Structure 1
Amino acid sequence: MKEVKKVSKKYIYFFGSFGGILFGYDIGVMTGALPFLQIDWNMHSAFWEGCITSSLMFGAIFGGMMAGHLSDKIGRKRMLSLSALIFIIGSLLSAIAPNNGYIYLTLVRVFLGLSVGAISATVPNYMSEMTPAKSRGRLSGINFTMIALGTLLSYVVDYFLQYLPASFAWRTMLGVAAVPALILFIGSLRLPGSPRFLINHNRIDEAREVISLVQPKDQIENEIKAIQNIKKAEDQTTNQTKLIKMFTGKYRYLVIAGVGVAAFQQFMGVNAIFYYIPLIVAKATGHAASSNLMWPVIEGAILLLASFLFLAIADKFKRRTLLILGGTGMGLSFILPAVINTLFTHVNPLITIFFLCIYVGFYGFTWAPLTWVIVGEIFPLAIRGKASGTASSFNWVGAFLVGLLFPIMTASMSQETVFAIFGVICLMAVAFIIFKVPETKGRTLEEIEKKYVKE
């Protein structure tokens, strides 16, 4: 038996969710880097703006799929270490892109996206499998706080580097991402494997030691027995883990719910704000995008504060209640500027930016953290890795399409109209929650599986 390293719960939850900082940093960094890339390469193509920005999300689609399969075989912990290594390499390669290397930078960011997608699929699984049911919402929500912190960190780095020469500025912005990736790699080496992964691979004694790190002693055997019972039932089933089987077999209700929430989170348009806020403000006010880097910092600060609000209320309100509230508030925040601009003339152009801040606030304490909480807890053990990878991939499909199409859409129609379209999608997401997503608050992972898996 391999000896489990003795580490504290705080260490486990900190480094277990630290991958969110990498996720968040690379979500936000292109927001500040893109205006300087435009200057340095004299880039005036909406197509290449969309390609370079969205290429990371394209890679993340496949990274999520890769993580789904690999994490079931090598474990969540090793998947985090591997993702950190890929991230380090991809960040450094981005920083040394040749001048006017549109194709090079696009391909490198696809490679980098493999890591981001893998992290987005693996961290929710690891955190949900390492936390007790009664506090899973709050502790799993730390993942998003890390994402928000990483996003804000990227915006602050962008802001302070804006006074450097354009070529040096964007290269430094992209290269600095290797620092948190190195921290994650070192920290992940001491993380224990998740108990459900260990039991699924018949490493019972190791699982017992890991559970003792995060659960009271009188709960250890009950936890092991519950996981073993689920594993035994799953071992008696036939080939149910193929993608088509997940959506049509006995797992379909939970798979559709989890994947649907993950997909809607991105199709609701949030990354149009996080990737392009300097360009959005520039179009609204007429000021140069490179002089609007304080706005991403403001949006990032709102996002981080909202994540703290979620940590305070996560286990006090039902998941569905918060998602319905958030989706409604986000939808109205997108639709109201279009209505106001239609009804009134000479409206201050910053009215749209004001409503975008409200949108980010609603997003930050509802859909942003809860998506990953639900992805981490809703899927049955036998397909958890693959289903989480699928959910992550669908999430990144949405991010890729929003990142690619937003500059093209705003080149042909007003920003208010584009955001109104996203607002309608937000309201569609609310309907999806009402009709298709079960309540999971306060239930163990095994209880969720037992209640909702349809034989």
Structure 2
Amino acid sequence: MKTSRRWLYLKLLFTTCSLATHQFIIGATLIFSGILFAKLREPSSTLTLTPEQASWIASVPNLVCPIGSVATGILADKIGRRKALHLTFIPLIISWGILGFFDTYKSIMIARTLLGYSEGTGAYVLLYITETSPTVYRPLFLALVLVVTGMGMLTISVLAIFYTWQTLSQMFCLMSLACAVLLFAVPEPPIWLRSKGLETEADRVEKWFGLDPLQKMPGCGVSTIASNATAARPPPLPPSSKWSVYTSRSVWKPALITLAFFVCQQGTGFYILLFYSVDVIRDCRVPVDGMTFNACLSVTRIVASVIYVMQYETKRRTLVVISSVGMCVGLSSAVGYLYAFDDVRDPPYQFLLTAAFLAYVFFAVLAMLPLPWSITGELFPMAVKGTMNGVIHSCGYELLFLATKIYPMMVMTLGIKLVWSIFAGFCLMSALFGAFVLPETKGKSLDEILTEFEPKKKAKIFP
């Protein structure tokens, strides 16, 4: 029994890490605009961007993300989680190739637009993991994806110190191709296969995982894969009720909650720091150059990701409160420093400003960065999970586009100190949201989670 469990965990680790290579590439795309802007400001650069052009380069991937997110969500329900995710490597490879061999504003915009299609599909990595991992260890495997994403950010940050942005793009084009090939070794989740009536193939995948459908898993009562498969095989919905599932409380209520969660996330300003890292440290007078600051952010994110992995047994609501309060303290310290030494040409203790921003990033990774993206894979009924993940994540990316597009205008209109004071206020609001609104999913099965959204007297759970 111990050997079979160990084999199962090794197979789950393999599938998780293989799928997470997608997020390794996406992690690099998230901070590429900051690296690009820093490179283009170097004296040897032959390309100059206006502030308007820079804002479009930074934000256009987020504008296109909903297309990729919704399309992949529909495909994930139709052809499978892994197959749908596999298709997203095509625009990734093409876009990195364009960046690697062309250096005009138009070519950069085309490449960033293609990148945006795939950037919005990371939800299906998380969806796959939620459908294959034991409930008790699900947060652990989800957290590993965050570590791999941070590794992608750190890798491109370190390489950027030695190579041009075009050489970096060529490297990640090859990496994307290698990751796409690796994904062929990953099977579809048994729960999805059984929901499509593919019983024989589902049995084959369970045997590949080294799991007997009747075998029990520690901490779950029954096998997660087997129990998920059982939950995926109720009688099919009649045609008239296929659309009515979207109006059920088990769909619209978690949809509103997750949308509010995304509003809180974007309001904290974390992604602003990623996309405009060079501009932020310049306006806030952080005494570190852009490349070094990006590397420090990436290292901080990886350290925080490892700690996040270690906290897989901690309740989600607790993590959100700790994360939000920590972000608020970090940002408030940075803003307070800016107000205190506003008129000082060479302010003292400048390392405190750097430390405040790094603390802000550290606490963001503990919950407010990963949870809005991952929790959508845990809250929706199986019949609409892929589609609703696409819809909600699309809304999240539109909010991200709005935040990144208007940030330069906000700084020009309100000033850097007031803008980041607003972000600090959103951090506090996020702590209240986590404490009183966010549902707890730690250690709960899909049936248990969905039951909480139904009226107490007549709970009806859609598959």
TM-score normalised by the chain length of structure 1 = 0.87
Q: Give CA deviations for 1:90-122 in whole Å, capped at 9, x if unaligned.
A: 1111223353x3x4422331122111112x221
* Aligned counterpart in structure 2 of residue 143 of structure 1, from 138, 142, 145: 145
Flag the 1:246–1:43 CA change in 2: closer, same or farther, 3 A. Answer: farther
> 1:55 offset after TM fit, Å?
1.2
Separation in structure 1 between the aligned mates of residue 21 and residue 279 of structure 2, nearest angstrom: 30
Change (3 A) 1:339 1:131: same
Are 1:114 and 2:117 an aligned pair?
A: yes
User: CA offsets, 1:54-103, max 9 Å, x none?
Assistant: 1122221221111111111111111121111221011111223353x3x4
| SS in structure 1 of the partner of residue 408 of structure 2 | helix
Contact kept in structure 1, 2:318 and 2:434, CA below 8 Å: no
- CA RMSD, 1 decimal: 2.7
* Residues 1:366 and 1:250: Cα distance change in structure 2 (over 3 Å): closer
Q: Which residue, out of 181, 184, 189, partners 1:189?
A: 184
* 1:224 Cα deviation after fit: 3.9
Aligned to 1:397: 398
Counterpart mapping for 1:243-322 below 5 A = 246=246, 249-285=249-285, 291-315=289-313, 317-322=314-319
After TM superposition, the structure 1 = structure 2 runs for residues 77-226 of structure 1, keeping only pairs within 5 Å, are: 77-99=82-104, 101=105, 103-118=106-121, 120-161=122-163, 169-214=164-209, 216-217=211-212, 218-219=215-216, 223-224=225-226
| Alpha-carbon distance between aligned partners in 2 of 1:286 and 1:327, rounded to the nearest angstrom | 23
Distance in 2 of aligned mates of 1:143 and 1:9: 13
Give every structure 1 segment of 4 or more consecutive aligned residues whose post-TM-superposition deviation is greater than 6 Å.
none
Task: Check conservation: 1:324, 1:433, Cα contact below 8 A.
Answer: yes
Residue by residue, what CA displacement relative to the aligned partner does 1:383-406 show, whole Å, maximum 9, x if unpaired? 110111122212212322232222
Tell me the CA shift for residue 305 of structure 1: 0.6
CA distance in 2 between partners of 1:195 and 1:133 (Å): 15
What CA distance in whole angstroms lies between the structure 2 residues aligned with 1:206 and 1:260?
Answer: 39
Correspondent of 2:329 among 309, 332, 336: 332
Question: Could you say which structure has the higher helix fraction?
Answer: 1
Q: Check 1:246–1:426 CA distance in 2 against 1; reply closer, same or farther (3 A cut).
A: farther
What amino acid is the match of 1:276? Y
Residue in structure 2 matched with residue 235 of structure 1 by the alignment: 237
Distance 1:305-1:215 versus aligned 2 partners, 3 A rule: farther
CA shift, 1:293, in A, is 0.7
Q: Which residue of 1 aligns with 2:374?
A: 373
Structure showing greater relative contact order (alpha-carbon pairs closer than 8 Å, 6 or more residues apart): 1
Q: How does 1:406-421 map to 2 (within 5 A)?
A: 406-421=407-422
> Taking structure 1 as reference, are residues 295 and 223 closer, same or farther at Cα in structure 2, changes over 3 Å only?
closer
**Larger deviation, residues 189-198 vs 259-268:** 259-268
For residues 239 and 231 of structure 2, the distance between their equivalents in structure 1, rounded to whole angstroms, comes to 13
CA distance in 2, matches of 1:427, 1:304: 24
The gaps in structure 1 that reach 5 residues or longer are 1-5, 162-168
Asked if structure 2 preserves the Cα contact closer than 8 Å seen for 1:81 and 1:188, the reply is: yes
SS in 1 for 2:449: helix
Asked whether the equivalents of residues 81 and 184 of structure 1 are also in contact (C-alpha less than 8 Å), the reply is no
Match of 2:32 in 1: 29
Question: Which residue matches 1:19?
Answer: 22
Aligned counterparts of 2:417 and 2:82: Cα–Cα separation in 1: 43
Q: How many correspondences in the alignment? A: 435
Pair 1:267–1:234, CA change in 2 (3 A): farther
Helix, strand or coil for the counterpart of 1:439? coil
Greater mean deviation of Cα atoms: 188-197 or 205-214: 205-214
What displacement does 1:8 show?
2.9
Gaps of 5+ in 2: 1-7, 217-221
Sequence identity (%): 20
Indicate if the aligned counterparts of 1:57 and 1:399 stay in contact, CA closer than 8 A.
Answer: yes
In the aligned structure 2, how far is the partner of 1:178 from the partner of 1:23? 12
1:64 alignment partner, one of 53, 69, 89: 69
Q: CA deviation at 1:354?
A: 2.3
**Letter of the aligned partner of 2:28 in structure 1?**
Y
Q: How much does 1:181 deviate?
A: 1.3
- 1:336: how far off? 3.1
- The residue that corresponds to 1:165 in the other structure is none
